[in-house]
Chain A
């Protein structure tokens, strides 16, 4: 495994060099998040021929860190549900009835689609950040381009589970710090220390509500994936 040296911190959507002022949320030109005039383009047609290749990117992190906002800022966001059989432990129901009354839990995911050139479509999946959804992450991350773990510096612990998860996998992931206006403006290196994130994992600062910023987060993830050669016995995509 090649060790990739620490990258210069990317400040996606940061107000400017040395700009440490808190962000002004009333600043015109900042796109609102979910709701409001959030520009979802429902009229964008799917490519006439349908996608010829489709790639997954995961957007993970605790509740309220801005996953839905980020997916909505950069893609055509649509509802998607997965339905899972959940075993109800200790329900006090006898065995036969338990079999007959399997509980189904419907899990809502953020789901966004970005149409690129040559029939390539990127699919963003915003995944619930709770331990009980880990089984979903397994499936989501299989063959994915990588993951973005969003954090809110006021509650970094909300994204610990997601960081732990991706640290223990080989898929590329980056940490994106969603800069809420009333949060202290930590530097990426302060955040790296606080979270004990390995030096090769890029940390980018972003504003999940802004399309340009969200785009830069995705670009940072792809560039990270480009720096990390796949495992030698890993089959190529679409082998």
Chain B
């Protein structure tokens, strides 16, 4: 077991990576802003000819064969969320990835809240 300090977020933070190699220099998405809980899904279309995807993008498409949130993709691929946003943006431009469901914008209705509460209790 590592030292207690290894869990201190402050110490985990710090200038560590330069992810622009993966995103080919881009630092932010051009298209719609993705949330951590935006649900993405692959469109199932073939990769257009003469399009070169990165290994990370292929892995993203594989994950998104079923609906997957941005947070889950980032965690599964062990890449920062910002990188996932950029890669997803390119895949959406290519028509290979789409938003299955945008993130909630407000309070769910009472029935949904009640169901969430009851499900939590029953865990």
Interface residues of A (CB under 8 A from B): 34-36, 46, 48-56, 63-64, 68, 74, 78-86, 102-109, 111, 113-114, 116-118, 120-123, 125, 128, 130, 139-140, 142-143, 145, 215, 218-219, 222-223, 225-226, 229-231, 234-239
A7 to chain B, nearest CB (A): 15
Dominant secondary structure of chain A at its interface with chain B = mixed
Interface residues of B (CB under 8 A from A): 1, 7-10, 12-19, 27, 35-37, 39, 41, 66-69, 71-72, 74-75, 78-83, 100-110, 112-117, 119-121, 123
Q: Are A128 and B116 in contact (CB under 8 A)?
A: no
Q: Which residues of B contact A229 (CB under 8 A)?
A: 107
Q: Are A81 and B41 in contact (CB under 8 A)?
A: no
A211 to chain B, nearest CB (A): 8
Q: Per a CB cutoff under 8 Å, which of A68, A79, A109, A238 touches B104? A: A238
Q: Which residues of B contact A52 (CB under 8 A)?
A: 39, 67, 101
From known contacts A80-B71, A103-B15, infer whether A54 and B39 are also in contact, taking CB-CB under 8 Å: yes
Q: Which residues of A contact B108 (CB under 8 A)?
A: 55, 145, 236-238
Q: Are B69 and A51 in contact (CB under 8 A)?
A: yes
Q: Are B75 and A111 in contact (CB under 8 A)?
A: yes
Residue of A82, A83, A125, A225 ringed by the most chain B CB atoms within 10 A: A83
The complex places the Cα of A226 from the Cα of B37 at a distance, in Å, of 21
Q: Which residues of A contact B8 (CB under 8 A)?
A: 63-64
A174 to chain B, nearest CB (A): 13
Q: Given A81-B79, A215-B123, list of 6 further CB < 8 A pairs?
A: A53-B104, A105-B15, A106-B12, A114-B123, A226-B113, A237-B108
Q: Are B10 and A237 in contact (CB under 8 A)?
A: no
Q: Which residues of A contact B75 (CB under 8 A)?
A: 78-80, 111
The complex places the Cα of A79 from the Cα of B119 at a distance, in Å, of 25
